[in-house]
Amino acid sequence: MNTEPMSAPRPEPTAPGPTVLNGTYPEPLWMQARDSLVNRISVGEIKPGSRLPPERELCGTLGISRVTLRKALTALVDEGVLRAAQGRGWYVAAAERKEWPNTLESFSETAHRMGLLATSQVLRRESGPASFDEAEALQIAPGATLFRLERVRMLDGVPIAVDLALLPADIAVGFDEVDFTVRSLYDTITRAGFELAQADTTIEARPADAALAGHLAIAAGTPVLDMRQIVRDRTLRPLLSSSIRYAGDRYRLRTSFMRKPGP
Please give the single-letter amino acid code of residue 239: L
Q: Residue 14: pLDDT above 50?
A: no
How many CA atoms are closer than 13 Å to the CA of 259, on its beta-carbon side? 3
- 66 in a domain, yes or no? yes
| 91: CB partners within 8 A, 6+ apart | 49, 50, 51, 52, 82, 83, 84, 85, 217
Candidate from 16-25, 67-76, 106-115, 204-213 with smallest mean pLDDT? 16-25
pLDDT of 187:
92
pLDDT at res. 99: 46
Last residue of a domain, one of 92, 125, 146: 92
Do 16 and 42 have their domain in common? yes
pLDDT at residue 15 is higher than 50: no
Q: Which residue has the higher pLDDT, 63 or 10?
A: 63
Convert the pLDDT of each residue in 206-260 to its tens digit.
999 999 999 998 888 989 999 999 999 999 999 999 999 998 776 666 666 666 6
User: Can you name the residues that pair with 2 across neighbouring β-strands?
Assistant: 254
Reply yes or no on whether the pLDDT at 138 is more than 90. Answer: yes
Most confident option among 56-60, 88-92, 139-143: 139-143
For residue 128, the enclosing domain spans: 107-254
Residue 156 pLDDT grade (very low, low, confident, very high; cuts 50, 70, 90): confident
- Work out the average pLDDT over 71-82: 86
* pLDDT band at residue 77 under the 50/70/90 scheme: confident
118 and 182 fall within a common domain: yes
Q: Under a CB-based contact definition with an 8 Å cutoff, are residues 2 and 253 in contact? A: yes
In terms of domains, do 119 and 233 share one? yes
